[in-house]
Amino acid sequence: MKHLHFTQSVEPLQGGGLGKAAIDLHKAFLMSGTKSLLVSTKETPDEKAIPESVIGLRTGPKKCFYSKTIQRKAAEWGKVFDVIHGHGFYVYPNWSLGAQARIQGKMLVYHPHGFLEPWILNRSKLPKHIAYILFENKNFAYSQLWRALTEKEADQIRSYGVTAPIVVAANGIHLTEYDRDFNPDLIPEKKKKRILFLARLHPKKGLRILLEIWPGIKRNHSDWEVIVAGPDEGGHRQELESLASSLQIEDSIKFVGTVSGDTKLAWLKSSDLFILPSYSEGFSVAVLEAMVCGIPVLATTGCNFPEIFHREAGWICEAEHASLSSALIQALESQEADLHAMGQNGRKLVENKYTWTKIATTIIDATHAHRG
């Protein structure tokens, strides 16, 4: 069978983890010998090639993710491909390619990627409602298979009245991208132990909570610093930097901007603890990246990854001040040997369960089993 994957954007800021997850799953399909095409959009001409992909330039209103390339080729793709995978909701690629799946009678597989989380649903309600009326209600009803990242997300899908089969398959990691030496010269010299935050700078990521508890924690843990890495969204970085200044913690909170490739690997492999105090996640690839690099993880319940605690790979807490503070203090007061053991537990968990090869096989098998 020939598969087409589409998502709103391949840019980290516009697509977040959604774009990377779609790209990595597409690559895993190709590595398995399955025919696959990735379709997405970009604001500027594509410079970094993604194998077997069509990345159209975006025009029109930003939140629509409209591309003339997709409009022009959608009907052709609808005829050629057997299975069409939609990653995310509410944007033009879903309108165009969802319609072609219905018109051509092709299998439509929907991947919500956390879009049905209550925190997400409560944002921008009107545009989502309009999109649902215009096209997503038709796509929801037509989809022959849904892929949930977690059992919790499977329940969220069912709450929408979906009766189609659901396959539970999390996001994953390509191990070879991380199993190599890093160049310490790409980042500043390490003078303190490092807590790494690696994600978009967006209010839902909970960084404000972390900054607000940090002054009290810093007093007894001055040998630690927080590295904040990731692209700014909507000017949130300036808000956070102003908060850090008002709290007089700029000396131990370092904003390093967007990181990728070898530089990202250097930050990951030189850090001692990974933190994601998020209110809401589908399934964070950044958490997997930390674990595959052998770093213990502190995450919130909103990250939907209870195995971090159950497999002794780190700590789970609530996205609120007292809970995060308690968990973070526990982490910083842990013995170095215990932190190392947790990091190794996380690495084993990823190797056993969260490689893209295994996840792609699960999804491909499900499409074969449920294709009409």
- Convert the pLDDT of each residue in 344-361 to its tens digit: 999 999 999 999 999 999
Answering whether pTM is above 0.75, one says yes
* 52, pLDDT greater than 90: yes
Report the interhelical angle of 336-353 vs 285-292 (nearest 10°).
120
Q: Tell me the average pLDDT across 52-57.
A: 95
Query: Which letter does DSSP use for residue 204 in this model?
Result: G
The domains found in the chain, sorted by start residue, are: 2-172+355-370 (3.40.50.2000), 176-353 (3.40.50.2000)
- From 67, 120, 61, select the one nearest 89 (Cα to Cα): 120
Closest alpha carbon to 91 in 132, 50, 126: 132
pLDDT of 293 over the 90 cut: yes
In the chain, the amino acid numbered 200 is R
Report the phi/psi class of residue 52: left, alpha or beta, with left for phi > 0 and alpha for psi in -120 to 50.
Answer: left
How many CA atoms are closer than 13 Å to the CA of 317, on its beta-carbon side?
23
**Per-residue model confidence as pLDDT tens digits over 114-167:** 899 887 888 888 999 999 999 999 999 999 999 999 999 999 999 989 999 999
What mean pLDDT do residues 308-326 have? 97
Contact indicator for 186, 265 with CB cutoff of 8 Å = no
76-79: list long-range contacts, CB under 8 Å, 24+ apart. Answer: 77/4, 77/37, 77/39, 78/103, 78/104, 78/106, 79/104
Q: What is the pLDDT of residues 172-196, one digit of tens each?
A: 998 988 999 889 999 999 999 999 9
